Structure 1
Amino acid sequence: MPKDFRATTLERAIGRQLAGWRAERELSLTEAGQRVGFSSAKLSMMENAVQPSAPLDVMALGYVYKVPVVEWQSVVVRAQHAERVRARSAGGPDFDPAADFANLVFEATLLRVFTTDLVPAVFQLPVYLNAVMQSDDPVRTARLAMVREAWASRLNGKDPLVAHAVFPEAVLRHVIGGPRVMKAQLLHLMEVSEHPAVSVRVVPRGAGAYPAMGSPFTLLGFPHRQHNDVAYLETFIKGEYVEEPGLTEECASRFASLQETALGEGESLELIAEAAADL
């Protein structure tokens, strides 16, 4: 393993696939390692993307686990691709960043999100999401619901995902789904913003131009040293990961500037309450 190994999102997805195969067969790390000839430590590191999963090792696991040939061959191809472009964040064959995003949200320890038109996905009520996506792709709707559920499942746990959100005041004034739906959404936003792991800040409409204007993004931080920060960008066409440290550092810098431009948390909460009262 390279001394300064940093797993790409593709390698993390491969690790989850390997862990899924073992879980389906109800094997412990020790039992699975004995069957394939790996130490339990090596197998654990592969599953957690703490070391790269070599294509031959993936092939061996697929054979030992009796995974259908087409399925394990697909993962081997992805591992080969990851091996060639490890330093880049490109998604390889059969890898869809948008489909995998909820998994990253579940694994992250820090989420920083800047939206321009909508309430951040992690805070969206189902009725609000349905109103947004009523004429959109139902698959994308389901994926966004998974993102919200991944965050919500950890909110009151021992290790909640810390979520910092910034968005312009216009997000509060777009009446998505009608006054009743929008009011419920704003009240929900007020409720979650009072959680100690959540920070919500609003850029007032009188602020003028501000950093990253018109360019929404999500920045995720992770607990493992081998896992760099990941920025996620999405349009209605596709999702894309950005993993190069220089670029994710630029996102972090822009987010910090956005927080400075926005109102404080207390003032933001008052503005949200005002918008809800106007409905």
Structure 2
Amino acid sequence: MSTSIVLRRRLAAELRTLRHKAGLSQEELAEHLGAAVSKIVRIENAQSTVSLSDLRVMLALYSVPSKDQESLLELARNARKRQGWWSAYRDLLPSKYVALEAEASDIYNYEPTHIPGLLQTEEYSRALQSADRRLHQEDIDRYVAARMTRQESLWRDEPSLSLHAIIDEAALHRIIGGPEVMAAQLRRIEEATQRPNITVKIMPFGTGAYPSLGVPFVILGFRDPRDPDVVLVEGRGENYFESAEEVAMFRADWIEIDRMATSATDVPRLIRDIIKEIVPWQKQKDPA
């Protein structure tokens, strides 16, 4: 079932299209509704839900046929519902992103400093979160539990999600949680490379400068063509990019990064070499 944020984005896109077809500006619509322009902006950017009463006024103003009005009203009702397992973690998780991720069919994830969340082991994730001194142990436990739940759609026998990950080599050498935890994390990545719905590439040290260097980003693609791609750029907070022009720029960066990264077939060998560096006794156990 589509999550509420996805449905809200879908409804917002429909309403923007209808307003443009009706030849109305946001200011004119706001005047008809007796509302502030900022309210229209939030509705059309999917930042807030639209009331059914306002929606009925808007659809009448746009001369939408009765049968189409009912389907849009039903879409609005569903978009107002709080759905998803992540609602129990909304004090910790970026709920907008998790809701979008839950509905995505393809994720393109570039990470320069650490292992992508969908590939993290429980121990690695715990060590990573423990570095945040603002978090209490209970919060760390809940965060890790939520991250493991997020991974289920990727790792199940019949996955509903495909992941394309490019990891800077620096993230593979950063020993988070100690050598054994890191070695187990690297083996997890090697295991991931054997799955048909997961592609992992590495950006080697020798590459030099490349697009989006050091700036992690995620492109989320959706199965339903009514749901346009969205980009999350992480840093101090979350920055979302949803216009076609903005998403296209990140797509172009991804294509260039993907071209410069190692071949996916080289990743298992590279992983095993790094494991031998960080855990010397592994040399005796590695059959390769």
Question: TM tier, shorter chain?
Answer: 0.5 to 0.7
Q: CA deviation at 1:226?
A: 2.4
The 1:47/1:145 distance shift into structure 2, 3 A limit, reads farther
Q: CA deviation at 1:104?
A: 1.1
Q: Secondary structure at the match of 2:274?
A: helix
**Paired residues for 1:162-181 under 5 Å:** 162-181=162-181
> 8 Å contact 2:122–2:144 — kept in the other structure?
no
Q: For residue 75 of structure 2, what is the amino acid of its counterpart?
A: M
**Which ranges of structure 1 fall in alignment gaps of 5 or more residues?**
19-37, 50-57, 62-70, 72-93
Q: 2:104 aligns with which of 80, 97, 108?
A: 108
Question: TM-score normalised to the size of structure 2?
Answer: 0.64
Q: Percent identity?
A: 24
The 1:96/1:141 distance shift into structure 2, 3 A limit, reads closer
Q: Distance in 1 between matches of 2:78 and 2:258?
A: 33
Q: Distance in 2 between matches of 1:40 and 1:187?
A: 52
Q: Does 1:149 pair with 2:145?
A: no
The 1:141/1:43 distance shift into structure 2, 3 A limit, reads farther
Q: Distance in 1 between matches of 2:76 and 2:92?
A: 20
Q: CA deviation at 1:9?
A: 5.3
Supply the RMSD in Å over aligned alpha carbons. 3.4
Q: For residue 160 of structure 2, what is the amino acid of its counterpart?
A: P
Residue in 2 aligned with 1:248? 247
Q: Secondary structure at the match of 1:175?
A: coil
- For structure 1, which segment, 2-11 or 171-180, has the greater mean C-alpha deviation from structure 2 after superposition? 2-11
> 8 Å contact 1:122–1:149 — kept in the other structure?
no
Q: Distance in 1 between matches of 2:141 and 2:209?
A: 31
Q: Distance in 2 between matches of 1:257 and 1:140?
A: 36
Q: 2:130 aligns with which of 134, 140, 145?
A: 134
Question: TM-score normalised to the size of structure 1?
Answer: 0.66
Residue in 1 aligned with 2:95? 99
Q: Distance in 2 between matches of 1:240 and 1:194?
A: 32
Q: Secondary structure at the match of 2:190?
A: helix
**Larger Rg over CA atoms:** 2
The 1:192/1:230 distance shift into structure 2, 3 A limit, reads same
Q: Distance in 2 between matches of 1:155 and 1:44?
A: 33
**Which ranges of structure 2 fall in alignment gaps of 5 or more residues?**
1-13, 19-42, 53-67, 83-89, 280-288
Q: For residue 109 of structure 2, what is the amino acid of its counterpart?
A: V
The 1:47/1:158 distance shift into structure 2, 3 A limit, reads farther
**Paired residues for 1:37-52 under 5 Å:** 41-42=71-72, 44-46=74-76
**Paired residues for 1:201-220 under 5 Å:** 201-220=201-220
Q: For residue 255 of structure 2, what is the amino acid of its counterpart?
A: A
Alpha-carbon displacement from aligned partner over 1:229-255 (angstroms, at most 9, x marks no partner): 1111222x4222111211111111101
Q: CA deviation at 1:46?
A: 2.5
Q: Does 1:223 pair with 2:223?
A: yes
Q: Distance in 2 between matches of 1:209 and 1:275?
A: 22
> 8 Å contact 1:168–1:202 — kept in the other structure?
yes
Q: CA deviation at 1:100?
A: 2.4
The 1:46/1:143 distance shift into structure 2, 3 A limit, reads farther
Q: Secondary structure at the match of 1:133?
A: helix
- For structure 1, which segment, 200-209 or 269-278, has the greater mean C-alpha deviation from structure 2 after superposition? 269-278
The 1:217/1:47 distance shift into structure 2, 3 A limit, reads farther
Residue in 2 aligned with 1:161? 161
Q: Secondary structure at the match of 1:269?
A: helix
Using CA pairs under 8 Å that are at least 6 residues apart, name the structure with larger relative contact order, 1 or 2. Answer: 1
- For structure 1, which segment, 208-217 or 178-187, has the greater mean C-alpha deviation from structure 2 after superposition? 208-217
Q: Distance in 2 between matches of 1:172 and 1:101?
A: 25
The 1:8/1:273 distance shift into structure 2, 3 A limit, reads farther
Q: 1:124 aligns with which of 100, 120, 125?
A: 120
The 1:133/1:97 distance shift into structure 2, 3 A limit, reads closer
Q: Secondary structure at the match of 1:109?
A: strand
The 1:231/1:179 distance shift into structure 2, 3 A limit, reads same
Residue in 2 aligned with 1:258? 257
Q: Distance in 1 between matches of 2:270 and 2:105?
A: 28
